[in-house]
Amino acid sequence: MTSRKRIIGTNSKLSEVREKLGVGDVVACRLRLKYGEEHLLLDLVERGVKLIPSATSQLASRSKSFQARLLAPLMVPLTVAIYDIHGLLDTISLYSKHSISKVVLKHDRKNAGLGVHLFRDIEDVYNQAANNVLPYPFVLQPFVENSRDVRVIILDDYVEAYERKNPDNFRHNLHCGGKPIPFKLNKTQRKLCHKAMKRAAFPYGHLDLMITEKSDVYLAEINLRGGMRGAAIDSDSYRAKVQAIEKKLLQAAL
Q: What is the mean pLDDT of residues 187-215?
A: 97
Instruction: For the domain made up of 148-250, give the CATH fold.
Output: D-amino Acid Aminotransferase; Chain A, domain 1 (3.30.470)
Q: CATH 3.30.470.20 occupies which residues in the chain?
A: 148-250
The rounded percent of the chain whose pLDDT value lies above 90 is 83
Looking at every residue in the chain, the average pLDDT score rounds to 92
Q: CATH 3.30.1490.20 occupies which residues in the chain?
A: 77-142
CA distance readout (Å), 210 to 31, 112, 220:
29, 15, 6
Higher pLDDT, 25 or 226: 25
pTM as predicted: 0.91
Q: What is the mean pLDDT of residues 90-96?
A: 97
pLDDT value at position 114?
72
Alpha-carbon torsion angle 48, 53, 56, 58, nearest 10: -120
- On the question of pLDDT at 113 being above 70, the answer is no
Which tens digits make up the pLDDT trace of 133-159?
999 999 999 999 999 999 999 999 999
- On the question of pLDDT at 227 being above 50, the answer is yes
Is the domain 77-142 a CATH 3.30.70.1350 member?
Answer: no
- The dihedral built from the CA positions of residue 231, 113, 65 and 104, taken in this order, carries a sign that is positive
pLDDT value at position 130?
92
Sheet bearing 205-211, strands edge to edge: 179-182, 158-165, 148-155, 205-211, 217-223
Q: What is the mean pLDDT of residues 174-198?
A: 87
Which tens digits make up the pLDDT trace of 43-67?
999 999 999 999 999 999 999 999 9
Q: What is the mean pLDDT of residues 93-115?
A: 88
